[in-house]
Amino acid sequence: MIKQKEIVILLLIGVIFAAFIFANGQYISLTRLNIFNLENFYKQSPDIINNTKVTYLKTHPLVEAAKNQIGVVTKYDSSYYQGGYPPEDSGACTDLVERALRESGYPLKDLLDKDMRNNPSLYPQEFDSNINFRRVRNLKIFLDRYAEVVSTCTTLECFKQDIWRPGDIVTYEQIPNGLWHIAIISNKVSTDGLAIVPYIIHNHGRGAVENNLFLIWPAPISGHYRINDIDLSL
Give 10-residue mean pLDDT values along the chain (234 residues).
53 45 33 37 45 89 98 97 96 98 96 97 96 98 97 92 96 95 97 87 96 95 90 61
User: What is the distance between the terminal CA atoms of the chain, rounded to a whole angstrom?
Assistant: 71
Residue pair 146/226 in contact by the 8 Å Cβ criterion:
no
What's the confidence (pLDDT) of residue 230?
66
Tally of CA atoms within 13 A in the half-sphere of 185 that contains its CB: 28
Strands 221-226 and 169-172: antiparallel
Determine how many CB atoms are found less than 10 A away from the CB of residue 220. 11
Determine how many CB atoms are found less than 10 A away from the CB of residue 233. 6
Assign 198 to helix, strand or coil. strand
What's the confidence (pLDDT) of residue 23?
36
Residue pair 133/111 in contact by the 8 Å Cβ criterion:
no
Torsion angle of the four alpha carbons 203, 112, 100, 92, in this order, in degrees rounded to the nearest 10: -20
Greatest Cα pair distance, the chain, in angstroms, is 74
